[in-house]
């Protein structure tokens, strides 16, 4: 059985780690390089590093930050934000990233997923999907959740898999930062729909929420930010408790 992964997320703005609620009201959470090393040392399985304002500000991901973070960690490391070309990915992989995450650029030009997976292999291409439940359906949003689309979550998930994505990072905008639990119903539907790993994001607040997303949501990995950044949940203790619920994790 594949082990479930615990993935701290570092949302970066102006060189600092930030965290908000429902994608707004951002507050400072510390130095991303310091946090990255700390998480690697404390037992995180992977890290995700998202330059959250790169797309809105129409600029590329900060390479110097990626270099510094990569020098401090010995676990897989995904980078996203403002990635739209083969050259962008090539640069980031050379800076030390193991995987890249594309979001808005892939929605605007879906062929990008085909091009990237063909060039670099699907194993290092993560498609991030920020979606919001509106009435009875989930809709994809772009540019850090600021631009709604009429694209439905489950249709897009199926398409990105067919185009060569190796993983999907699904963030529920309704649950983000609320600490009320993950969107397990949608996650379960996603994992049944596609054959690539699903990373759950948005809503982590307690250890039980992680238990639920691995059991009810059937997620392959669980991503969280503020509960780790502000010391509310300790990664090693979380993993020990997951083990007690017969959830396979790497200790």
Does the active-site annotation cover 41?
A: no
**What is the pLDDT, as a whole number, of residue 226?**
82
**What is the pLDDT, as a whole number, of residue 55?**
54
- The CATH fold assigned to 5-244 is TIM Barrel (3.20.20)
**What is the pLDDT, as a whole number, of residue 22?**
47
| Successive 10-residue mean pLDDT values, the chain, 251 residues | 90 69 53 88 94 60 81 93 92 95 95 98 97 95 87 98 98 89 97 98 96 98 90 95 97 90
Identify the active-site residue in 11, 51, 176, 220.
Answer: 11
**What is the pLDDT, as a whole number, of residue 156?**
98
HEC string for the chain: CCCEEEEEEEEEECCEEEEEECCEEEEEEECHHHHHHHHHHCCCCCEEEEECCCCCCCCCCCHHHHHHHHHHCCCCEEEECCCCCHHHHHHHHHHCCCEEEECHHHHHCCHHHHHHHHHHCHHHEEEEEEEEEECCEEEEEECCCCEEEEEEHHHHHHHHHHCCCCEEEEEECCCCCCCCCCCHHHHHHHHHHCCCCEEEECCCCCHHHHHHHHHCCCCCEEEECHHHHCCCCCHHHHHHHHHHCCCCECC
Identify the active-site residue in 45, 130, 176, 212.
Answer: 130
Does the active-site annotation cover 11?
A: yes
Domain boundaries along the sequence of the chain? 5-244
**What is the pLDDT, as a whole number, of residue 188?**
98
Instruction: Enter the pTM of the model.
Output: 0.91
């Amino acid at each position: 059985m594949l082990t479930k992964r615990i993935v701290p997320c570092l949302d970066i703005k102006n060189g600092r780690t930030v965290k908000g609620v429902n994608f707004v009201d951002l507050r400072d959470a510390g130095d991303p390089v310091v946090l990255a090393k700390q998480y690697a040392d404390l037992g995180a399985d992977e890290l995700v590093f998202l330059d959250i304002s790169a797309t809105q500000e129409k600029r590329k991901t900060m390479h110097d930050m990626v270099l510094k973070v990569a020098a401090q960690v010995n676990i897989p490391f995904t980078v996203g934000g403002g990635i739209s070309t083969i050259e962008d990915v090539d640069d980031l992989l050379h800076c030390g990233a193991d995987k890249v995450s594309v979001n808005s650029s892939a929605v605007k030009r879906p062929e990008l997923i085909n091009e990237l997976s063909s060039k670099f292999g699907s194993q290092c291409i993560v498609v991030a999907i920020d979606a919001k439940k509106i009435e009875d359906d989930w809709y994809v949003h772009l540019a850090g959740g600021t631009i709604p689309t009429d694209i439905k979550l489950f249709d897009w998930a199926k398409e990105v898999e067919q185009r060569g994505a190796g993983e999907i990072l699904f963030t529920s905008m309704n649950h983000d930062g609320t600490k009320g639990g993950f969107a397990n119903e949608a996650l379960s539907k996603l994992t049944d729909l596609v054959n690539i790993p699903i990373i759950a994001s948005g809503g982590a607040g307690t250890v039980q929420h992680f238990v639920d997303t691995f059991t009810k949501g059937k997620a392959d990995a669980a991503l969280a930010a503020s509960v780790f950044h502000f010391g509310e949940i300790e990664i090693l203790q979380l993993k020990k408790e997951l083990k007690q619920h017969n959830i396979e994790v790497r200790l």
